[in-house]
Amino acid sequence: MLHLTLLAGQFAICRLPAGSALPEWATTGSFSSVSSTADETSVVCEQRAVPDGVRSDPGWRALKVAGPMDFSLTGILLSIAEPLADADIGIFAVSTFDTDYVLVKENSLDAAIASLTEFGHSVIRGAGAARPRRA
């Protein structure tokens, strides 16, 4: 069983041209990630920080796996991706030195939390994280 925490706020996944200088807005807020390849620079950051005109996909929520985790552990992302894939929920995964983050679209959040808890994981809504809407 894993313990996950829902981070507050919405995030966007942005695409910048390869070799772009890292803009200041890309690293503001409580969580951001930057990956650079020969083809592109990808930025995950708070949605509200993304300037107009930047190619982005907004509306993501982030779940943080409790860490730090040892590099010898295996199957961590699989144990999250599998129940979400079974529920037809797409993910965007980010790994750091200490832990993993899994992002899901806001409109899939409640179903994602339900799938993860049914699989045996615990999900805590962090301070400032939106509560589920009642039907």
Cβ-in-10-Å burial (0-12, 13-18, 19+) of 76 comes to middle
Q: How far apart are CA 101 and CA 95, in angstroms?
A: 6
Q: How far apart are CA 109 and CA 50, in angstroms?
A: 22
Give the tens place of pLDDT for each residue, 84-133.
999 999 999 999 999 999 999 999 999 999 999 999 999 998 655 554 44
Encoding tokens for residue 93?
A: 């995964």
- pLDDT for 37 equals 95
- pLDDT for 135 equals 36
Topology adopted by domain 3-125: VC0802-like (3.30.2130)
Give the tens place of pLDDT for each residue, 47-59.
999 999 999 999 9
Q: For the chain, which residues make up each domain, given as ranges? A: 3-125
Q: How far apart are CA 126 and CA 44, in angstroms?
A: 19
